[in-house]
Amino acid sequence: MPELKQALTYEQQVTRLTEHNLKISSRESAIAILKKVNYYRLSAYGIGLAKPDDKEQYIDGITLESLYRLYLFDSLLRNQLVHVIEQLEVQLRTQVSNHLGIKYGPEGYMEAANFILKYTKDGSSIHTITIEKFKQQCIYQRDIPFVKHHALTYDGHFPIWVAIELFTFGNLASLFDIMSPTDKKVIASHYCTDPNYLNSWILALVEVRNICAHYGRLYNLPLKQAPFLYNENRKYRTGSINKLFPTILTIRRMLQNDERWREFATGLESIMDTYSDVIRLSFIGFPPDWRTILLK
């Protein structure tokens, strides 16, 4: 194993950055930035800004302040996204729990027979895994009042409309994935789409939401989950690398251009304008006419 690099002082970090052709206007202000944002985290915003013939050197004119502004933009973008995705997640929980509760009864979600049989690569039942993760959440969140209430009053039995609040978004995605085709169609109809599209949208939202929740970088990050797009939007997926814009188009379609979407789009426009001096639209998959597409 290669030997780990040694830690650097703030002064040494500034020197190291200048050695990579990063422009530093003031060592004092540079140190102030590095005290706010970890050197390693900040450097990630320089991905894609290296010279074509020397990946260890930034292209001329890139400043530490510009990387810091990209970090600030990314932070505000995550805040915008996590708020609107929360609303979609809560809505999806409502639709799923209401449908399953009425059709199969309060604890019908516990019965594998009410779902299609799917297994992981190692042969484990996805339904079993989903329920086990739910039970783990019951233990982990046992001090929350509604969990205590059902543990004491109902001997640990949770109706679906209560249990769904203890499902992580990823676990909710797994539950939807194993619902019967008929049940999926009912949920998908609320979003004016079909189950395959909705399933891909949910997975894309889970990925972005998890990145946001853990303060990860979205700017210039290739995403694993590519949401299905309808014909009019497929041109906005560029090549094999999936960036953020398709997921934002998905959010718009799921919100059906309602007031929540308009609020999100207006906020997005504001931060895009504020940091337009450092943002490279292609790094987040935005086309040049993104404003017309999202705000029309």
What is the rounded CA–CA span in Å between residue 153 and residue 61?
A: 66
* pLDDT computed for residue 233 by the predictor: 86
* pLDDT computed for residue 236 by the predictor: 84
Report the first-to-last Cα separation within the chain, whole angstroms.
54
- Domain ranges in the chain? 10-62, 69-295
Q: Decide if 96 contacts 102 (C-beta within 8 A).
A: no
For 63, counting Cβ atoms within 10 Å of its Cβ (0-12 exposed, 13-18 middle, 19+ buried), the class is middle
What is the rounded CA–CA span in Å between residue 278 and residue 63?
A: 10
Residue 135 tokens, joined: 């039970």
Percent of the chain with pLDDT over 70: 99
pLDDT tens digits along 234-272: 888 767 789 999 999 999 999 987 899 999 999 999 999
* pLDDT computed for residue 296 by the predictor: 79
